[in-house]
Amino acid sequence: MTLTELRYAIALAETKHFGHASAMCNVSQPTLSIAIKKMEAELGVQIFERTTNTTLLTRTGVKIIAQAHKVLEATTVIKDIAVSGKNELIAPLHIGAIFTISAFLFPNFVSPLQKSAPDMPLIFEEGYTEQLRSRLRKGELDVIIVALPFEEPDVVVQPLFDEPFIVALPSNHPIAQRSSIKAEELAKEHILLLGQGHSFRDQVIKAIPNINQYHNTTVTSDEDSEGNSLETLCTMVATGLGISILPQSVTKAPNFIDANLTAVPLHGENAKRRVVLAWRASFPRHQAIDAVRNAIFISHNISPNSRTIPELAFD
């Protein structure tokens, strides 16, 4: 049994389809099929149940695939240890972030990170929290930047900062000139949200009591209230389709500066999110993690020596 066969088996377990799994592994379907049969023959058990339309794991197969994940994670650790023994700031660093953070964080902290680690190639990736969680466990990402709540066994979570929410309004909106807005005051407003799958959508729903109760009967299916990115929500607000709740960092984006758009701080118990770094507890390149953290702090004018969790100030 080889590591390659384990990778093939994991791909087949995820896709439930020999064709899709072979494409994921960049091999021909017969090659993958032969490898799976060889693995089953060597183990003396059936890992997969083949049907006409799909491929399912047997009960024993579920346990085998779970262990296969652990084996591949362990091989990643071995490679990381070897790299760290040479120089922690030379090997490529794979960094992932959720969509509502990456667009505004990546461009700002790359420069200070490259200054502190000029020989460390950076590979960036965006995704939903669950996608990043999975890729981190597989060793495909080294460190991810997400928002709480986030828990994962054998993963270290280090707080970075608390980010307040702002209310994005058309400039001619009756409350656009306010110095701040309470969450309770937005109960009758049409609030534009990100689509399903974005953790920030859930945080906004939690922050606004009775959100959109006067606009529609359900928050989950009103397509005219949804955008697929924060930039799209800004455009929708500027054109008068409603208002939106956004993380404060969106105001730093050049395209946010719009004569038809105004940002006002949101006050409320849940009107902020905690942004964190997360990495596998076994990841040995601690200097690389520290370099990422310090670069993010520098890009937000936060002292790298801060001993408390800072909150971003509204400009």
One domain for residues 151 and 268: yes
180 pLDDT more than 50: yes
One domain for residues 195 and 311: yes
174 pLDDT more than 50: yes
To 5 degrees, how large is the angle CA 233–CA 277–CA 313? 55
Q: What are the DSSP E strand ranges found in the chain?
A: 48-50, 55-57, 93-98, 122-127, 143-147, 155-170, 181-182, 191-194, 226-227, 243-247, 261-267, 272-280
How much is the average pLDDT of 147-174? 89
Q: Give Rg (Cα) of the chain.
A: 23
One domain for residues 199 and 252: yes
pLDDT of residue 218: 45
| CA dist., res. 194 & res. 172, Å (int) | 23
Amino acid at 245: I
At 246, list the tokens.
């956004």
One domain for residues 118 and 22: no
Domain holding 252: CATH number?
A: 3.40.190.290
Q: What are phi and psi of 160, to 5 degrees?
A: -105, -60
Number of domains making up the chain: 2
Of residues 102 and 292, more confidently modeled: 292
Kindly list the distances between the CA atom of residue 175 and the CA atoms of 106, 179, 264, in Å, as whole numbers in the listed order: 32, 9, 9
One domain for residues 116 and 69: no
Which of 49-53, 138-142, 289-293 shows the lowest mean pLDDT across its residues? Answer: 49-53
210 pLDDT more than 80: no
Q: Element (H or E) spanning 146, and its range?
A: strand 143-147
Q: What are phi and psi of 125, to 5 degrees?
A: -145, 140
In which band, very low, low, confident or very high, does the pLDDT at 219 lie, cut at 50, 70 and 90?
very low
In which band, very low, low, confident or very high, does the pLDDT at 221 lie, cut at 50, 70 and 90?
very low
One domain for residues 105 and 30: no
In which band, very low, low, confident or very high, does the pLDDT at 256 lie, cut at 50, 70 and 90?
low
Contact 225, 191 (CB under 8 A): yes
CB half-sphere exposure, 239, CA atoms < 13 A: 8
One domain for residues 138 and 64: no
Residues in the chain: 315
Specify the 3-state DSSP secondary structure of 192: strand
Domain-terminating residue out of 84, 102, 137: 84
Of residues 127 and 260, more confidently modeled: 127
Q: Element (H or E) spanning 5, and its range?
A: helix 3-15
Domain-terminating residue out of 51, 84, 117: 84
Global model pTM greater than 0.85:
no
Specify the 3-state DSSP secondary structure of 19: helix
Domain holding 34: CATH number?
A: 1.10.10.10
One domain for residues 121 and 74: no
One domain for residues 157 and 16: no
pLDDT of residue 220: 46
Structural domain boundaries, residue 29? 3-84
Domain-terminating residue out of 84, 115, 147: 84
Average pLDDT, the chain: 84
How much is the average pLDDT of 68-89? 78
One domain for residues 58 and 105: no
pLDDT of residue 26: 92
One domain for residues 77 and 214: no
Kindly list the distances between the CA atom of residue 11 and the CA atoms of 55, 105, 106, 215, 224, in Å, as whole numbers in the listed order: 11, 32, 30, 44, 37
One domain for residues 132 and 106: yes
Alpha-carbon dihedral sign for residues 244, 231, 226, 241:
positive
